[in-house]
A and B are shown apart, each in its own frame.
Chain A
């Protein structure tokens, strides 16, 4: 495998794409809560000042105002750090957006542990769990620049409330040109039959690198970018799970209530039970450091993931004897 080529932060792709779309869609509005800097929307605000609505540091109001704008037919992107948006604004997301069925696109920026050493106040390891427990909001966690651009383009016409989760690190390119992005359809990054690495967001590239390490050791690993948590691509996960002997899920989120638990729930109930490991942030006072250091601490590196997968696969072979 070629080493992966580095692109831009997904947040940058988000704002570049949005600016392009907004130039030809006067109904496209961005709502910000003193968040245009971290959302990389300063240029947007300068070029299209009539299409940005600032509410100040007021995440509850951000979501409520966004719902009102959407009710009036605007194509609304409400952009705020994921940690604040989905905690401070949660009741507004639940009632004003999801329950009221106002098609707001909520964009959680600097998600997961993107803010690293700023600490737990700035981490969002709960957002996917709480949003999955709320009816009528689709959840998209793109992995790379291609997926991000495609997700933003698809979001404009999305008929339901949508949560788009983005990070701030420059991401490697994962897809060959011409890949087909559809909300709700997982994308295969590597094809393999021994183990599968199921990931979303910024951990997908780590899973892909782990697969390449495994290949060098004669283990063929499947890698899926499960960029949409809802609607969940059950067919792709089941098809993969039936082919492999072991599955490792990996995510930048609490191990409770995110991708891993979604996969486990599906597989157990379908009676498809390859060996399973859920890798993510455990239920403890989160280790401090940069995103990379936090990842390393919790085994979210290519080497650690490869080892986790190999051990899991080995355990299934021992059992089989």
Chain B
């Protein structure tokens, strides 16, 4: 998929995310908007997946370790055709499988997540199996930056390097916020790139809200043969809507009807500007 189309999709996805959170009356707004571009690029430009045959053995695997940002995942999976888009309207309703953290009851979801610090170990297991079987598919997982204080991440990181999993791609949504506030004030993570390098990853840092930069970075996988890949995606939590951006309060704040209207208008303006940019170019 070309860059202009990816940019268009990111705007569209953000509108869907906000609308479905408002409709459901619950959701993780900030974290879903911060990782929208990452999921967009993975599903539309990087990973080999087949929505019509979601269990094809050669598919690339994706594990949404920051499971709370489920609205971003559902939105992209629906757009890819894993399930009808109408299902998004059932989010959080009694009896719906579209619950607030992803489960394998929803087509396209590989693993149930929601308790932070779990996805990486499971991804390591999948990547070890692929290596053993000589299969070419890759395993992607996305973690929050606040999530990184879970000790299990570092257990899993040791095993990723030990088993030389260059088919494993770990992405950090580095929006510098968690529930309480700045990650560096809650429990400092820096120097993050150095820490991950020391654990044996090949590390790249990228603007995680720039689809072109993300495409470029993922095109370089494997970064170094024999090393697990780690992408620190510098993002803005709540990206795309001025009053949601970089605000800890918006972690799981639900937009009011008025806020939704303003937010959607802002996104429509962004789309307008995008079109003008390419028209003049």
Is the pairing of A and B real?
Answer: yes
Chain A residues lying within 8 Å of B40, measured Cβ to Cβ, are none
Interface residue B143 (Cβ < 8 Å from any Cβ of A): no
Tell me how far the C-beta of A190 lies from the nearest C-beta in chain B, rounded to whole angstroms.
44
B-contacting 9-mer, from A89-97, A203-211, A265-273, A296-304: A89-97
Interface residue B19 (Cβ < 8 Å from any Cβ of A): no
Question: Which of A50, A56, A69 is the one whose CB lies under 8 Å from B125?
Answer: A69
Interface residue B129 (Cβ < 8 Å from any Cβ of A): yes
Residue contact B132 to A96, C-beta cutoff 8 Å: no
Residue contact B155 to A71, C-beta cutoff 8 Å: no
Interface residue B152 (Cβ < 8 Å from any Cβ of A): yes
A-contacting 9-mer, from B75-83, B103-111, B198-206, B270-278: B103-111
Chain B residues lying within 8 Å of A100, measured Cβ to Cβ, are 103-104, 111-112, 122
Produce 1/0 per residue, A52-64, CB < 8 A to B.
0101101011011
Interface residue B128 (Cβ < 8 Å from any Cβ of A): yes
Known: A69-B129, A70-B125. 8 other contacts (CB 8 A): A55-B155, A60-B121, A64-B118, A71-B129, A73-B129, A92-B118, A95-B112, A95-B114
Tell me how far the C-beta of A96 lies from the nearest C-beta in chain B, rounded to whole angstroms.
6
Produce 1/0 per residue, B263-274, CB < 8 A to A.
000000000000
Residue contact B152 to A65, C-beta cutoff 8 Å: no
Residue contact B152 to A60, C-beta cutoff 8 Å: yes
Tell me the bound Cα distance from A53 to B120 in angstroms: 16
Residue contact A65 to B112, C-beta cutoff 8 Å: no
Residue contact A63 to B121, C-beta cutoff 8 Å: yes
Tell me how far the C-beta of A37 lies from the nearest C-beta in chain B, rounded to whole angstroms.
19
Tell me the bound Cα distance from A63 to B125 in angstroms: 9
Residue contact B155 to A60, C-beta cutoff 8 Å: yes
Tell me the bound Cα distance from A60 to B123 in angstroms: 13
Chain A residues lying within 8 Å of B156, measured Cβ to Cβ, are 61, 64-65
Interface centre among B121, B124, B133, B155 (most CB of A within 10 A): B121
CB contact list, B74-116 vs A, under 8 A = 103-104, 110-115
Residue of B with least CB distance to A64 = B121
Residue contact A56 to B126, C-beta cutoff 8 Å: no
Produce 1/0 per residue, A22-64, CB < 8 A to B.
0000000000000000000000000000100101101011011
Residue contact B115 to A58, C-beta cutoff 8 Å: no
Interface residue A72 (Cβ < 8 Å from any Cβ of B): yes
Tell me the bound Cα distance from A60 to B117 in angstroms: 10
Chain A residues lying within 8 Å of B129, measured Cβ to Cβ, are 68-69, 71-74
Tell me the bound Cα distance from A101 to B111 in angstroms: 9
Residue contact B158 to A64, C-beta cutoff 8 Å: no
9 closest A-B pairs by beta carbon, nearest first, are A68-B125, A64-B121, A72-B129, A61-B155, A58-B155, A65-B125, A68-B122, A68-B126, A100-B112
Tell me the bound Cα distance from A101 to B105 in angstroms: 10
Chain B residues lying within 8 Å of A95, measured Cβ to Cβ, are 112-115, 118
Residue contact A65 to B158, C-beta cutoff 8 Å: no
Question: Can you list 25 A-B pairs, Cβ within 8 angstroms, ordered by A?
Answer: A55-B155, A55-B159, A56-B159, A58-B158, A60-B121, A60-B151, A60-B155, A61-B159, A64-B152, A65-B121, A65-B159, A67-B111, A67-B121, A68-B121, A68-B124, A68-B126, A69-B125, A69-B128, A70-B125, A72-B126, A92-B118, A95-B112, A96-B111, A96-B118, A96-B122
| Total A-B pairs, Cβ < 8 A | 97
Tell me the bound Cα distance from A55 to B127 in angstroms: 14
Chain A residues lying within 8 Å of B113, measured Cβ to Cβ, are 95
Interface residue A259 (Cβ < 8 Å from any Cβ of B): no
Tell me how far the C-beta of A51 lies from the nearest C-beta in chain B, rounded to whole angstroms.
9
Main secondary structure of the interface of A (DSSP, over half): helix
Interface residue B130 (Cβ < 8 Å from any Cβ of A): yes
Residue contact B112 to A99, C-beta cutoff 8 Å: yes
Tell me how far the C-beta of B217 lies from the nearest C-beta in chain A, rounded to whole angstroms.
24
Tell me how far the C-beta of B224 lies from the nearest C-beta in chain A, rounded to whole angstroms.
22
Residue contact B152 to A61, C-beta cutoff 8 Å: yes
Tell me how far the C-beta of B39 lies from the nearest C-beta in chain A, rounded to whole angstroms.
20
Tell me the bound Cα distance from A72 to B159 in angstroms: 17
Question: Which of B57, B115, B128, B133 is the one whose CB lies under 8 Å from A65?
Answer: B128
Residue contact A66 to B125, C-beta cutoff 8 Å: yes
Residue contact B104 to A101, C-beta cutoff 8 Å: yes
Tell me the bound Cα distance from A218 to B90 in angstroms: 66
CB contact list, A248-266 vs B, under 8 A = none
Chain A residues lying within 8 Å of B151, measured Cβ to Cβ, are 60
CB contact list, A140-154 vs B, under 8 A = none
Tell me how far the C-beta of B280 lies from the nearest C-beta in chain A, rounded to whole angstroms.
48
Residue of A with least CB distance to B120 = A64
Tell me the bound Cα distance from A17 to B156 in angstroms: 30
Produce 1/0 per residue, B163-186, CB < 8 A to A.
000000000000000000000000
Produce 1/0 per residue, B51-68, CB < 8 A to A.
000000100000000000
Chain A residues lying within 8 Å of B117, measured Cβ to Cβ, are 60
Tell me the bound Cα distance from A99 to B114 in angstroms: 11
Chain B residues lying within 8 Å of A73, measured Cβ to Cβ, are 57, 129
Tell me the bound Cα distance from A73 to B155 in angstroms: 23
Question: Which of A53, A55, A71, A91 is the one whose CB lies under 8 Å from B126?
Answer: A71
Residue of B with least CB distance to A104 = B125
Residue contact B111 to A71, C-beta cutoff 8 Å: yes
Chain B residues lying within 8 Å of A102, measured Cβ to Cβ, are 111
